[in-house]
Amino acid sequence: MPQAKPLVVVTRKLPEVIEIRMMELFDTRLNRDDKPLSQAELIEAARQADVLVPTVTDRIDKAVLTQAGQRLRLIANFGTGVDNVDLAAARERGVTVTNTPGVLTEDTADMTMALILASARRLAEGERVVRGGEWQGWSPTWMLGHRISGKRLGIIGMGRIGTAVARRARGFGLSVHYFNRRRVHESLERELEATYWESLDQMLAHVDIVSVNCPHTPATYHLLSARRLKLLQPQAYVVNTSRGEVIDEEALAEMLIAGEIAGVGLDVFEREPAINPKLLGLDNAVLLPHMGSATIEGRVDMGEKVIINIKTFVDGHTPPDRVIEAMF
């Protein structure tokens, strides 16, 4: 007698090719209108599912997991970061958690470089001027930004994405500096001509551009605190394509208003989709709607990883992307 297919509940709309493949392999319940599920709806999904497929904006916290049904055995997260899942509560319930690492590295690194350029060269501000019909023609002293070649880039978190950013930065003539929980191999340092800083405080005081590429964990919450942000030079730029919680957003906004730093490029926010109103009115803030990994290729690759993790788990094997601990 054929084994029953596992019930897989997907919380958001995924690329069509992924949804079709899931329906072929599993008993799949989709979210066709892509409306974010409420906590009550997430609890109901966890009560019914064998496998839950949430995204990085779904809070799978202790309140959800303590009310999950006995059938729930796998949370196959559609995303690299797992700060949306209470890993300790999942472990207590005996629920395996997987993610989708590696496939978004190049896309996020591309967006990081785009934000560095957009911030330093005032691209978003210039675009608004043109669309607003305010452009009066070329002037030798108008809309001046900063050259990035020859500047010092400080990368916070030299993991996959941080390393990919460093490789791109070298092509733009930036000097690479980095802070990481562990120093990378000396061969990689030589390749990137990268300078390691044991002290984040000291690095911040010496770089022109800061790129946040570490995950959000309890240890990295407000890693760029008000105190640390004050260490930056007035001509410095801050770019974040990781998680908004890593930066004290209120302190950052106040420094921008006061002219204590030159500008920011943010793809993520501390309380997204809400954005600090102080940021919205600033010309020296480039703001994007969490689209650093938003490529068709990347989303399909993520979905394929989710499917492989589910299929491997259902077949009785250890999923290739089982989450042990968050590291950077």
Q: Which residues contact 300 (CB under 8 A, 6 or more apart)?
A: 15, 17, 18
44 in catalytic set: no
CA 27 to chain centre: 30
Task: For residue 96, report the phi and psi dihedrals to the nearest 5 degrees.
Answer: -80, 140
Q: Which of 243, 249, 270, 299 is catalytic?
A: 243
Q: Which of 93, 146, 290, 322 is catalytic?
A: 290
Spatial distance between the Cα atoms of 236 and 149, rounded to a whole number of angstroms? 14
User: Angle between the 296-314 and 16-25 helix axes, to the nearest 10 degrees?
Assistant: 10
Whether residue 217 contacts residue 193, with contact meaning beta carbons closer than 8 Å, is answered with no
* Cα dihedral across residues 92, 315, 317, 104: positive or negative: negative
**Which DSSP string corresponds to 245-292?**
GGB-HHHHHHHHHHTSSSEEEES--TBTTB--HHHHT-TTEEE--S-T
Six token digits for residue 139: 């002037």
Q: Which helix (H) or strand (E) holds 76?
A: strand 74-76
92 in catalytic set: no
Q: Which of 19, 254, 272, 304 is catalytic?
A: 272
290 in catalytic set: yes
Residues tagged active-site: 243, 272, 290
